[in-house]
Structure 1
Amino acid sequence: MASELAVGLRSWRARRRVSQLELAVRAGTTQRHVSFIESGRSVPGRDMVIRLAESLQVPLRDRNQLLVAGGYAPAYEETPYDAPSLGAIRAALSGILEGHRPSPAVVVDRRGDVVLANDSFNALVAGVAPYLLDAPVSVPRLFLHPDGLAGRIVNFREWAWHVIDGLTREAALVPNLESDELIAELVKLIPPRPETGPDHLGFAVPLRVRSANGELRLITTLTRFGTAIDVTVSELRMEAFLPADEPTARALRELDHTMLQRVEV
């Protein structure tokens, strides 16, 4: 019977749609060795587990689980976000978010919960039901919940399915029960998926939001840490909402100016 480690490695390889031969080439070993590991006939050393996991782009949290399943100690620390040792990371993220103003930007964890947000993002979500802003604040829920931004989003159905599709892709890459539960919850809140024709280009459309300064047309960009060796840092990602046209850029500047005036008062 294959070990938990063997089953885990085989599962990740299948999820990444990589053949044993391709994995062997990536990890610097042989297909025969990979086959023996996956069948439980060979027990890989700690270094080989890490090489195979890295070759399959297994997230650091899951790499630790594979190591533990193989009888080894976890290799990657999981430092609390507010720990003193992550002070430089927090300062860097704050600076990046501030640099994006007047565009809304937010840093979220692996669940899509807010870790850090700039004032422009707070202005964008101002007016949503207060309970949606109680920690942990879920960004997908903020956008799709009827008590959140849903009523202000002009192209809500298309945008909602863009969000759901993104969450589904993430869940396929990194399966976890929390993501599945969030997707199931949100799908119940949105209209059925719109029918598509031959000219359909997907649901990656600009987010169109009504604001006090007119309609905002926003495009999103995602940024991740590519070389993190701490579980917490590796799971952080920044999402920025950038203006798709000049009227939106102007409206964001006006909103930011109004917000600054309120703070000064």
Structure 2
Amino acid sequence: MRRLLVLSGGHPYEAAPFAALLARLSGWQVEHLVHPDAETAVADGAAAQADALLFYDMPGFTFADGTVTSRPPSPGFVAAIKAHFARGKGAVALHHALAGWADWPEWAQMLGGKFLYRPERLDGRDCLDSGYRHDVDYQAVVVADHPVTQGLPQHFALCDELYLAEIFEDQVTPLIRASHEFAAHNFYSAAHAVAGRVFDNSAWPHPAGSNLVGWTRPVASGHLVYLQFGDGPAAYANPHVRRVLANALDYVTQDKTGETRA
């Protein structure tokens, strides 16, 4: 049986429904670690025997008194994650994992994008903080014939949170897009929310962004799939989300047969 190491913590979520999602993964022996203990455990070797990693975490932040501070992961954690991909192993990252480890630039490069809680200079560009919008009813649109999208309808309905974030489209293989207008008036400023102004997009002239919500990219000798799905129980229970998650985990652990991955 394949071994899956799940990392969570750093962002609130409903534990029981998420555990039910993990329990439905067939053919996996699941170990679930929660930050801050997860960081230490991975540095101490917890990922060494994992066939795949599932990131549902947002570590490296402290939110207090209307401000956010951040820190990089420990050298041991960084070394363990890099070693996992160097062995040809893979990972799937869900939802708020796009915001994790703000002070570890390689994390964003591995994921293929970054959610910003504050303005930042990224790849030579000055970027505003990212946007969020809860409980969006939208259609997910499959844009690639790929192992991750096998068995999915071309369109499927979701009610989930969406992000207006920095997506490195030129560095990833697009898989799924959202039929939603990714413009500032449809989202709220993350920096405003940190400051206590929740659901506010005033004085936040964020440019229009990518509608990409699912993609894959190589990382060292392995692969990573990012899926923006997964804000809460409605997404966990969606059969198409469950299918694409299972497909993604299969994809990043498929045997090396010499065939070229997209």
Instruction: Tell me the TM-score normalized by structure 2.
Output: 0.26
Bigger radius of gyration among the two: 1
Higher strand share: 2
Instruction: Tell me the TM-score normalized by structure 1.
Output: 0.26
Relative contact order, higher structure (CA 8 A, sep 6+): 2
